[in-house]
Structure 1
Amino acid sequence: MSSARKRMGAPLGPRAVNIAETRERILRAATDQFAQHGYTGARVDAICKAADVNARMVYHYFTDKAGLYVAVLEKVLGELRAEELKLDVSATAPLSGLMTMFDFIFGHFARHPELIRLLSSENLMQGEFLKNSSATPQAASPVVEHIDTLLRRGEEDGSIRAGINALHLYIVMVALSYFYKSNAYTLSIIWNEQLLSQSWQDEHYRLARDVLESFLAPLPRA
Protein backbone atom coordinates (compact mmCIF):
# COMPACT_ATOMS: atom_id res chain seq x y z
CA MET A 1 0.00 0.00 0.00
CA SER A 2 1.40 3.41 -0.95
CA SER A 3 2.11 6.07 1.65
CA ALA A 4 -0.48 8.30 -0.03
CA ARG A 5 -3.14 5.64 0.42
CA LYS A 6 -2.22 5.16 4.06
CA ARG A 7 -2.74 8.87 4.63
CA MET A 8 -6.29 8.55 3.26
CA GLY A 9 -7.29 5.88 5.79
CA ALA A 10 -7.70 5.93 9.57
CA PRO A 11 -4.70 7.07 11.60
CA LEU A 12 -2.25 4.36 12.61
CA GLY A 13 0.25 3.86 15.42
CA PRO A 14 0.82 6.45 18.17
CA ARG A 15 -1.50 8.98 16.52
CA ALA A 16 -4.41 6.53 16.61
CA VAL A 17 -3.72 5.81 20.29
CA ASN A 18 -3.59 9.54 21.05
CA ILE A 19 -6.92 10.13 19.28
CA ALA A 20 -8.57 7.27 21.20
CA GLU A 21 -7.21 8.54 24.53
CA THR A 22 -8.33 12.11 23.84
CA ARG A 23 -11.80 10.97 22.82
CA GLU A 24 -12.07 8.83 25.96
CA ARG A 25 -11.01 11.76 28.19
CA ILE A 26 -13.71 13.92 26.65
CA LEU A 27 -16.33 11.21 27.15
CA ARG A 28 -15.36 10.70 30.80
CA ALA A 29 -15.54 14.42 31.53
CA ALA A 30 -18.83 14.74 29.64
CA THR A 31 -20.33 11.77 31.48
CA ASP A 32 -19.63 13.47 34.79
CA GLN A 33 -21.01 16.84 33.64
CA PHE A 34 -24.19 15.44 32.08
CA ALA A 35 -24.82 13.14 35.05
CA GLN A 36 -24.40 16.00 37.54
CA HIS A 37 -26.17 18.79 35.64
CA GLY A 38 -28.31 17.19 32.95
CA TYR A 39 -28.14 18.09 29.28
CA THR A 40 -29.22 21.71 29.70
CA GLY A 41 -27.03 22.46 32.72
CA ALA A 42 -23.86 20.82 31.46
CA ARG A 43 -21.32 23.25 30.00
CA VAL A 44 -18.98 22.46 27.14
CA ASP A 45 -16.28 24.71 28.60
CA ALA A 46 -16.39 22.76 31.88
CA ILE A 47 -16.07 19.51 29.93
CA CYS A 48 -13.09 20.93 28.03
CA LYS A 49 -11.39 22.02 31.25
CA ALA A 50 -11.88 18.62 32.89
CA ALA A 51 -10.66 16.78 29.78
CA ASP A 52 -7.79 19.23 29.18
CA VAL A 53 -8.85 19.89 25.58
CA ASN A 54 -10.17 22.87 23.66
CA ALA A 55 -13.70 23.23 22.32
CA ARG A 56 -12.52 22.73 18.75
CA MET A 57 -11.52 19.15 19.59
CA VAL A 58 -14.92 18.42 21.17
CA TYR A 59 -16.72 19.64 18.07
CA HIS A 60 -14.27 17.79 15.82
CA TYR A 61 -14.99 14.42 17.45
CA PHE A 62 -18.68 14.87 18.32
CA THR A 63 -20.01 17.65 16.01
CA ASP A 64 -21.89 19.52 18.76
CA LYS A 65 -23.13 19.28 22.35
CA ALA A 66 -26.05 17.07 21.33
CA GLY A 67 -23.71 14.69 19.53
CA LEU A 68 -21.50 14.49 22.61
CA TYR A 69 -24.52 13.80 24.83
CA VAL A 70 -25.71 10.96 22.57
CA ALA A 71 -22.18 9.51 22.61
CA VAL A 72 -22.23 9.55 26.42
CA LEU A 73 -25.57 7.73 26.50
CA GLU A 74 -24.25 5.15 24.04
CA LYS A 75 -21.11 4.73 26.13
CA VAL A 76 -22.79 4.07 29.49
CA LEU A 77 -25.47 1.81 28.00
CA GLY A 78 -22.91 0.04 25.84
CA GLU A 79 -20.74 -0.66 28.89
CA LEU A 80 -23.73 -2.18 30.68
CA ARG A 81 -24.59 -4.38 27.70
CA ALA A 82 -20.96 -5.43 27.16
CA GLU A 83 -20.62 -6.51 30.79
CA GLU A 84 -23.96 -8.36 30.66
CA LEU A 85 -22.88 -10.25 27.57
CA LYS A 86 -19.69 -11.41 29.29
CA LEU A 87 -21.84 -13.51 31.60
CA ASP A 88 -21.57 -17.08 30.38
CA VAL A 89 -24.78 -18.80 31.44
CA SER A 90 -24.99 -21.14 28.44
CA ALA A 91 -24.24 -24.21 30.53
CA THR A 92 -25.95 -22.98 33.71
CA ALA A 93 -29.28 -24.23 35.02
CA PRO A 94 -32.01 -21.81 33.80
CA LEU A 95 -33.01 -20.43 37.21
CA SER A 96 -29.40 -20.05 38.30
CA GLY A 97 -28.56 -18.31 35.01
CA LEU A 98 -31.42 -15.84 35.34
CA MET A 99 -30.50 -15.04 38.93
CA THR A 100 -26.86 -14.53 37.88
CA MET A 101 -28.06 -11.95 35.36
CA PHE A 102 -30.15 -10.23 38.05
CA ASP A 103 -27.20 -10.20 40.47
CA PHE A 104 -25.09 -8.49 37.84
CA ILE A 105 -27.76 -5.89 36.95
CA PHE A 106 -28.33 -5.05 40.62
CA GLY A 107 -24.60 -4.69 41.21
CA HIS A 108 -23.97 -2.66 38.06
CA PHE A 109 -26.52 0.01 38.99
CA ALA A 110 -25.08 0.09 42.51
CA ARG A 111 -21.58 0.71 41.10
CA HIS A 112 -22.64 3.26 38.48
CA PRO A 113 -24.85 6.01 39.92
CA GLU A 114 -24.00 8.15 36.87
CA LEU A 115 -25.97 5.68 34.72
CA ILE A 116 -29.05 6.15 36.89
CA ARG A 117 -28.80 9.94 36.76
CA LEU A 118 -28.29 9.98 32.98
CA LEU A 119 -31.23 7.66 32.32
CA SER A 120 -33.49 9.61 34.69
CA SER A 121 -32.56 12.87 32.96
CA GLU A 122 -33.13 11.43 29.51
CA ASN A 123 -36.52 10.06 30.55
CA LEU A 124 -37.55 13.54 31.70
CA MET A 125 -36.81 14.65 28.13
CA GLN A 126 -38.93 11.75 26.78
CA GLY A 127 -35.93 10.05 25.22
CA GLU A 128 -35.39 12.98 22.86
CA PHE A 129 -31.68 12.36 22.35
CA LEU A 130 -31.64 8.58 22.63
CA LYS A 131 -33.91 8.50 19.58
CA ASN A 132 -30.92 9.71 17.58
CA SER A 133 -28.81 6.72 18.58
CA SER A 134 -28.59 3.81 16.16
CA ALA A 135 -26.13 1.92 18.38
CA THR A 136 -28.25 1.53 21.52
CA PRO A 137 -31.01 -0.77 20.13
CA GLN A 138 -28.37 -2.99 18.51
CA ALA A 139 -26.50 -3.26 21.80
CA ALA A 140 -29.63 -4.04 23.80
CA SER A 141 -31.19 -6.83 21.75
CA PRO A 142 -28.78 -9.73 22.57
CA VAL A 143 -29.46 -9.39 26.31
CA VAL A 144 -33.17 -10.11 25.96
CA GLU A 145 -32.39 -12.95 23.56
CA HIS A 146 -30.20 -14.61 26.19
CA ILE A 147 -32.93 -14.24 28.81
CA ASP A 148 -35.43 -15.74 26.39
CA THR A 149 -33.13 -18.74 25.80
CA LEU A 150 -32.91 -19.36 29.55
CA LEU A 151 -36.67 -19.04 29.94
CA ARG A 152 -37.39 -21.51 27.15
CA ARG A 153 -34.88 -23.99 28.56
CA GLY A 154 -36.50 -23.62 31.97
CA GLU A 155 -39.95 -24.25 30.52
CA GLU A 156 -38.69 -27.43 28.88
CA ASP A 157 -37.09 -28.89 32.01
CA GLY A 158 -39.89 -27.67 34.30
CA SER A 159 -37.72 -25.39 36.45
CA ILE A 160 -39.30 -22.10 35.27
CA ARG A 161 -42.98 -21.20 35.01
CA ALA A 162 -44.29 -21.11 31.46
CA GLY A 163 -45.34 -18.05 29.47
CA ILE A 164 -42.91 -15.39 30.76
CA ASN A 165 -41.98 -12.71 28.24
CA ALA A 166 -38.22 -12.07 28.17
CA LEU A 167 -38.45 -8.29 27.76
CA HIS A 168 -40.97 -7.97 30.59
CA LEU A 169 -38.68 -10.02 32.82
CA TYR A 170 -35.63 -7.92 31.96
CA ILE A 171 -37.51 -4.72 32.78
CA VAL A 172 -38.63 -6.23 36.11
CA MET A 173 -34.99 -7.03 36.90
CA VAL A 174 -33.96 -3.47 36.08
CA ALA A 175 -36.87 -2.02 38.08
CA LEU A 176 -35.90 -4.00 41.18
CA SER A 177 -32.33 -2.72 40.80
CA TYR A 178 -33.03 0.85 39.67
CA PHE A 179 -36.16 2.37 41.18
CA TYR A 180 -35.10 2.60 44.80
CA LYS A 181 -31.79 4.18 43.79
CA SER A 182 -33.26 6.68 41.34
CA ASN A 183 -35.71 7.85 44.03
CA ALA A 184 -33.56 7.23 47.10
CA TYR A 185 -33.31 10.85 48.28
CA THR A 186 -37.04 11.57 48.24
CA LEU A 187 -38.03 8.14 49.59
CA SER A 188 -35.49 8.46 52.39
CA ILE A 189 -37.08 11.74 53.49
CA ILE A 190 -40.69 10.54 53.10
CA TRP A 191 -40.17 7.31 55.07
CA ASN A 192 -37.36 8.51 57.35
CA GLU A 193 -35.15 5.63 56.20
CA GLN A 194 -31.66 5.88 54.75
CA LEU A 195 -32.20 3.96 51.52
CA LEU A 196 -28.60 4.50 50.45
CA SER A 197 -27.15 2.94 53.61
CA GLN A 198 -25.38 -0.36 52.96
CA SER A 199 -27.60 -2.25 55.43
CA TRP A 200 -30.82 -1.10 53.72
CA GLN A 201 -29.46 -1.90 50.27
CA ASP A 202 -28.36 -5.38 51.38
CA GLU A 203 -31.81 -6.04 52.81
CA HIS A 204 -33.51 -4.77 49.66
CA TYR A 205 -31.26 -6.97 47.51
CA ARG A 206 -32.23 -10.08 49.48
CA LEU A 207 -35.92 -9.19 49.27
CA ALA A 208 -35.74 -8.45 45.52
CA ARG A 209 -33.96 -11.73 44.90
CA ASP A 210 -36.58 -13.68 46.86
CA VAL A 211 -39.39 -11.94 44.96
CA LEU A 212 -37.80 -12.78 41.61
CA GLU A 213 -37.09 -16.41 42.50
CA SER A 214 -40.64 -16.90 43.76
CA PHE A 215 -42.08 -15.43 40.56
CA LEU A 216 -39.90 -17.61 38.32
CA ALA A 217 -40.77 -20.84 40.14
CA PRO A 218 -43.12 -23.16 38.21
CA LEU A 219 -46.78 -22.88 39.19
CA PRO A 220 -48.20 -25.78 41.21
CA ARG A 221 -50.25 -28.19 39.16
CA ALA A 222 -54.00 -28.04 39.64
Structure 2
Amino acid sequence: MSEHRVKRDPEGTRHRILEAAISQFTKMGLAGARVDAIATAARTNERMLYYYFESKEGLYVAVLEAMYAKFAALEGGLDLSGLQPAEAIRQLATSIWAYLRENPQWLCLINNENLHAGRYLERSSRLRETISPVIDLLRVTLERGAAAGEFRQGIDPLDFYVTLISMGYYIVSNRFTIEAFAGRSYAEKRHQESIAAMHIDMLLSYLRQVSSSVNSRHDAAERDVA
Protein backbone atom coordinates (compact mmCIF):
# COMPACT_ATOMS: atom_id res chain seq x y z
CA MET A 1 0.00 0.00 0.00
CA SER A 2 2.77 2.45 0.99
CA GLU A 3 4.65 1.70 -2.23
CA HIS A 4 1.48 2.48 -4.21
CA ARG A 5 1.14 5.84 -2.43
CA VAL A 6 4.76 6.74 -3.22
CA LYS A 7 4.20 6.04 -6.89
CA ARG A 8 1.10 8.24 -6.99
CA ASP A 9 2.46 11.11 -4.88
CA PRO A 10 4.75 12.77 -7.47
CA GLU A 11 1.88 13.25 -9.88
CA GLY A 12 -0.34 14.50 -7.08
CA THR A 13 2.31 17.00 -5.98
CA ARG A 14 2.81 18.22 -9.52
CA HIS A 15 -0.95 18.66 -9.94
CA ARG A 16 -1.24 20.64 -6.70
CA ILE A 17 1.60 22.91 -7.76
CA LEU A 18 -0.10 23.57 -11.10
CA GLU A 19 -3.43 24.34 -9.44
CA ALA A 20 -1.82 26.70 -6.95
CA ALA A 21 0.16 28.37 -9.73
CA ILE A 22 -2.98 28.97 -11.79
CA SER A 23 -4.44 30.94 -8.89
CA GLN A 24 -1.25 32.94 -8.30
CA PHE A 25 -0.56 33.73 -11.96
CA THR A 26 -4.20 34.68 -12.55
CA LYS A 27 -4.24 37.14 -9.67
CA MET A 28 -0.67 38.43 -9.73
CA GLY A 29 0.65 37.83 -13.22
CA LEU A 30 4.05 36.31 -13.88
CA ALA A 31 5.99 39.19 -12.31
CA GLY A 32 3.90 39.37 -9.15
CA ALA A 33 3.45 35.66 -8.47
CA ARG A 34 5.62 34.33 -5.63
CA VAL A 35 7.19 30.90 -5.65
CA ASP A 36 6.92 30.55 -1.88
CA ALA A 37 3.20 31.37 -1.98
CA ILE A 38 2.63 28.77 -4.69
CA ALA A 39 4.56 26.13 -2.75
CA THR A 40 2.64 26.88 0.44
CA ALA A 41 -0.74 26.71 -1.31
CA ALA A 42 0.32 23.40 -2.91
CA ARG A 43 1.30 21.99 0.50
CA THR A 44 4.85 21.37 -0.63
CA ASN A 45 8.16 23.23 -0.68
CA GLU A 46 10.01 25.38 -3.19
CA ARG A 47 12.55 22.62 -3.82
CA MET A 48 9.82 20.37 -5.25
CA LEU A 49 8.55 23.20 -7.42
CA TYR A 50 11.99 23.66 -8.94
CA TYR A 51 12.39 19.90 -9.25
CA TYR A 52 9.30 19.56 -11.44
CA PHE A 53 9.35 22.86 -13.33
CA GLU A 54 12.96 24.16 -13.02
CA SER A 55 11.94 27.83 -12.61
CA LYS A 56 9.00 30.13 -12.05
CA GLU A 57 8.97 30.82 -15.79
CA GLY A 58 8.95 27.08 -16.50
CA LEU A 59 5.98 26.68 -14.19
CA TYR A 60 4.23 29.58 -15.92
CA VAL A 61 4.69 27.90 -19.32
CA ALA A 62 3.38 24.61 -17.89
CA VAL A 63 0.28 26.41 -16.57
CA LEU A 64 -0.38 27.95 -19.99
CA GLU A 65 0.07 24.57 -21.68
CA ALA A 66 -2.32 22.90 -19.23
CA MET A 67 -4.99 25.57 -19.68
CA TYR A 68 -4.78 25.46 -23.48
CA ALA A 69 -4.83 21.66 -23.48
CA LYS A 70 -7.94 21.60 -21.29
CA PHE A 71 -9.69 24.07 -23.59
CA ALA A 72 -8.71 22.16 -26.72
CA ALA A 73 -9.82 18.85 -25.18
CA LEU A 74 -13.28 20.30 -24.59
CA GLU A 75 -13.56 21.43 -28.19
CA GLY A 76 -11.99 18.33 -29.69
CA GLY A 77 -14.29 16.12 -27.64
CA LEU A 78 -17.41 17.53 -29.26
CA ASP A 79 -19.14 15.09 -31.60
CA LEU A 80 -20.41 17.26 -34.44
CA SER A 81 -20.47 14.57 -37.13
CA GLY A 82 -24.13 13.68 -36.62
CA LEU A 83 -25.34 17.27 -36.74
CA GLN A 84 -26.33 19.36 -39.71
CA PRO A 85 -23.48 21.79 -40.54
CA ALA A 86 -25.29 24.89 -39.26
CA GLU A 87 -26.24 23.17 -36.02
CA ALA A 88 -22.67 21.91 -35.64
CA ILE A 89 -21.36 25.48 -35.88
CA ARG A 90 -23.97 26.57 -33.34
CA GLN A 91 -22.95 23.83 -30.90
CA LEU A 92 -19.25 24.58 -31.30
CA ALA A 93 -19.77 28.32 -30.76
CA THR A 94 -22.04 28.00 -27.73
CA SER A 95 -19.70 25.44 -26.14
CA ILE A 96 -16.65 27.68 -26.57
CA TRP A 97 -18.42 30.81 -25.35
CA ALA A 98 -19.79 28.98 -22.31
CA TYR A 99 -16.29 27.78 -21.43
CA LEU A 100 -14.92 31.33 -21.64
CA ARG A 101 -17.67 32.63 -19.38
CA GLU A 102 -17.15 29.84 -16.86
CA ASN A 103 -13.33 30.11 -16.84
CA PRO A 104 -12.43 33.82 -16.74
CA GLN A 105 -9.11 32.93 -15.10
CA TRP A 106 -8.00 31.47 -18.42
CA LEU A 107 -8.60 34.82 -20.09
CA CYS A 108 -6.61 36.55 -17.36
CA LEU A 109 -3.67 34.28 -18.15
CA ILE A 110 -3.98 34.95 -21.89
CA ASN A 111 -4.14 38.71 -21.31
CA ASN A 112 -1.07 38.51 -19.11
CA GLU A 113 0.84 36.53 -21.73
CA ASN A 114 -0.10 39.09 -24.37
CA LEU A 115 1.54 41.73 -22.16
CA HIS A 116 4.68 39.63 -22.54
CA ALA A 117 4.17 39.57 -26.34
CA GLY A 118 3.63 35.80 -26.23
CA ARG A 119 7.31 35.09 -25.65
CA TYR A 120 6.72 32.45 -22.97
CA LEU A 121 4.20 30.55 -25.06
CA GLU A 122 6.82 30.45 -27.80
CA ARG A 123 8.89 28.25 -25.49
CA SER A 124 6.24 25.54 -25.59
CA SER A 125 6.90 22.67 -27.97
CA ARG A 126 3.40 21.21 -27.43
CA LEU A 127 1.11 24.20 -27.68
CA ARG A 128 0.36 24.14 -31.40
CA GLU A 129 -0.45 20.45 -31.20
CA THR A 130 -3.48 21.30 -29.06
CA ILE A 131 -5.14 23.49 -31.69
CA SER A 132 -4.71 21.20 -34.71
CA PRO A 133 -7.56 18.76 -33.84
CA VAL A 134 -9.93 21.68 -33.25
CA ILE A 135 -9.12 23.28 -36.59
CA ASP A 136 -9.49 19.91 -38.31
CA LEU A 137 -12.91 19.47 -36.67
CA LEU A 138 -13.99 22.88 -37.93
CA ARG A 139 -12.52 22.26 -41.38
CA VAL A 140 -14.53 19.05 -41.76
CA THR A 141 -17.72 20.83 -40.67
CA LEU A 142 -17.18 23.69 -43.12
CA GLU A 143 -16.44 21.23 -45.92
CA ARG A 144 -19.61 19.28 -45.15
CA GLY A 145 -21.61 22.49 -45.31
CA ALA A 146 -20.01 23.51 -48.61
CA ALA A 147 -20.57 20.06 -50.13
CA ALA A 148 -24.25 20.25 -49.17
CA GLY A 149 -24.56 23.69 -50.74
CA GLU A 150 -25.35 25.16 -47.33
CA PHE A 151 -22.09 27.08 -46.85
CA ARG A 152 -19.95 29.07 -49.20
CA GLN A 153 -16.75 27.54 -50.52
CA GLY A 154 -13.20 28.45 -49.58
CA ILE A 155 -13.58 29.56 -45.96
CA ASP A 156 -10.32 29.48 -44.04
CA PRO A 157 -11.02 27.41 -40.90
CA LEU A 158 -8.39 29.16 -38.79
CA ASP A 159 -9.70 32.63 -39.71
CA PHE A 160 -13.23 31.50 -38.90
CA TYR A 161 -12.12 29.93 -35.61
CA VAL A 162 -10.30 33.11 -34.52
CA THR A 163 -13.38 35.17 -35.40
CA LEU A 164 -15.66 32.85 -33.46
CA ILE A 165 -13.36 32.86 -30.41
CA SER A 166 -12.99 36.65 -30.43
CA MET A 167 -16.74 37.18 -30.25
CA GLY A 168 -17.00 35.34 -26.94
CA TYR A 169 -13.61 36.45 -25.67
CA TYR A 170 -14.27 40.19 -25.81
CA ILE A 171 -17.55 39.95 -23.95
CA VAL A 172 -15.88 38.14 -21.06
CA SER A 173 -12.46 39.83 -20.94
CA ASN A 174 -13.95 43.35 -21.18
CA ARG A 175 -17.11 42.74 -19.18
CA PHE A 176 -16.19 45.23 -16.46
CA THR A 177 -15.27 48.10 -18.78
CA ILE A 178 -18.30 47.43 -20.98
CA GLU A 179 -20.55 47.73 -17.97
CA ALA A 180 -18.75 50.88 -16.82
CA PHE A 181 -19.11 52.81 -20.08
CA ALA A 182 -22.26 51.20 -21.54
CA GLY A 183 -24.21 50.33 -18.40
CA ARG A 184 -24.90 46.76 -19.49
CA SER A 185 -23.63 43.74 -17.61
CA TYR A 186 -22.80 40.79 -19.83
CA ALA A 187 -22.40 38.75 -16.69
CA GLU A 188 -26.21 38.57 -16.70
CA LYS A 189 -27.61 35.49 -18.41
CA ARG A 190 -30.23 37.36 -20.45
CA HIS A 191 -27.60 39.60 -22.02
CA GLN A 192 -25.29 36.65 -22.61
CA GLU A 193 -28.05 34.79 -24.44
CA SER A 194 -29.05 37.84 -26.46
CA ILE A 195 -25.59 38.66 -27.77
CA ALA A 196 -24.76 34.97 -28.34
CA ALA A 197 -27.85 34.67 -30.56
CA MET A 198 -26.73 37.75 -32.49
CA HIS A 199 -23.21 36.38 -32.94
CA ILE A 200 -24.48 33.02 -34.15
CA ASP A 201 -26.77 34.74 -36.67
CA MET A 202 -23.80 36.77 -37.90
CA LEU A 203 -21.59 33.70 -38.27
CA LEU A 204 -24.22 31.66 -40.07
CA SER A 205 -25.17 34.57 -42.32
CA TYR A 206 -21.56 34.82 -43.40
CA LEU A 207 -21.28 31.09 -43.99
CA ARG A 208 -24.49 30.97 -46.02
CA GLN A 209 -23.75 34.05 -48.10
CA VAL A 210 -23.17 33.11 -51.73
CA SER A 211 -20.18 35.27 -52.44
CA SER A 212 -21.78 38.58 -53.32
CA SER A 213 -18.34 40.03 -54.00
CA VAL A 214 -17.81 37.45 -56.77
CA ASN A 215 -21.21 38.28 -58.24
CA SER A 216 -20.42 41.98 -58.09
CA ARG A 217 -17.14 41.50 -59.93
CA HIS A 218 -18.93 39.37 -62.53
CA ASP A 219 -21.58 42.05 -63.08
CA ALA A 220 -18.90 44.73 -63.35
CA ALA A 221 -17.03 42.67 -65.93
CA GLU A 222 -20.21 42.27 -68.00
CA ARG A 223 -20.78 46.02 -67.91
CA ASP A 224 -17.22 46.65 -69.06
CA VAL A 225 -17.67 44.24 -71.97
CA ALA A 226 -20.96 45.91 -72.92
What TM-score, normalized to structure 2? 0.88
1:186 lines up with 2:177 in the alignment: yes
Question: Is residue 159–residue 218 contact of structure 1 (8 Å, CA) maintained in 2?
Answer: no
Q: Tell me the CA shift for residue 92 of structure 1.
A: 2.2
Of 148, 165, 176, 1:174 maps to: 165
Of 19, 32, 35, 2:10 maps to: 19
Residue aligning to 1:8? none
Structure 1 moving runs of 4+ over 3 Å: none
Question: Is residue 17–residue 38 contact of structure 2 (8 Å, CA) maintained in 1?
Answer: yes
For the aligned residue pairs, the C-alpha RMSD in angstroms reads 1.6
Of 34, 37, 44, 1:46 maps to: 37
Question: Is residue 34–residue 69 contact of structure 1 (8 Å, CA) maintained in 2?
Answer: yes
Question: Is residue 74–residue 135 contact of structure 1 (8 Å, CA) maintained in 2?
Answer: yes
Of 66, 86, 98, 1:107 maps to: 98
Residue aligning to 1:92? 83
For residues 126-147 of structure 1, the C-alpha deviation after alignment (integer angstroms, 9 at most, x for no partner) is: 1010000011101111111111
Structure 2 counterpart of 1:61, which letter?
Answer: Y
Which region of structure 1 is more displaced relative to structure 2, 78-87 or 192-201? 192-201
Runs of 5+ consecutive residues of structure 2 not aligned to the other structure:
216-226
Structure 2 counterpart of 1:159, which letter?
Answer: E
Distance 1:16 1:83, change over 3 A: farther
Task: Give the Cα–Cα distance (whole angstroms) in 2 for the partners of residues 77 and 161 of structure 1.
Answer: 30
Q: Tell me the CA shift for residue 218 of structure 1.
A: 4.0
Q: Tell me the CA shift for residue 103 of structure 1.
A: 1.3
Question: Is residue 26–residue 105 contact of structure 2 (8 Å, CA) maintained in 1?
Answer: yes
For residues 79-106 of structure 1, the C-alpha deviation after alignment (integer angstroms, 9 at most, x for no partner) is: 0011111111123222221221111111
For residues 16-47 of structure 1, the C-alpha deviation after alignment (integer angstroms, 9 at most, x for no partner) is: 32111111111011001101111111111111
Identity %: 34
Task: Give the Cα–Cα distance (whole angstroms) in 1 for the partners of residues 94 and 186 of structure 2.
Answer: 19
Residue aligning to 1:208? 199
Of 48, 67, 72, 1:81 maps to: 72
Task: Give the Cα–Cα distance (whole angstroms) in 2 for the partners of residues 62 and 48 of structure 1.
Answer: 12
Runs of 5+ consecutive residues of structure 1 not aligned to the other structure:
1-11
Question: Is residue 152–residue 211 contact of structure 2 (8 Å, CA) maintained in 1?
Answer: no
Residue aligning to 1:3? none
For residues 197-221 of structure 1, the C-alpha deviation after alignment (integer angstroms, 9 at most, x for no partner) is: 2222222222212222222224288
What TM-score, normalized to structure 1? 0.90
Question: Is residue 167–residue 199 contact of structure 2 (8 Å, CA) maintained in 1?
Answer: yes
Residue aligning to 2:60? 69
Residue aligning to 1:36? 27
Task: Give the Cα–Cα distance (whole angstroms) in 2 for the partners of residues 18 and 37 of structure 1.
Answer: 28
Matches within 5 A, 1:135-174: 135-174=126-165
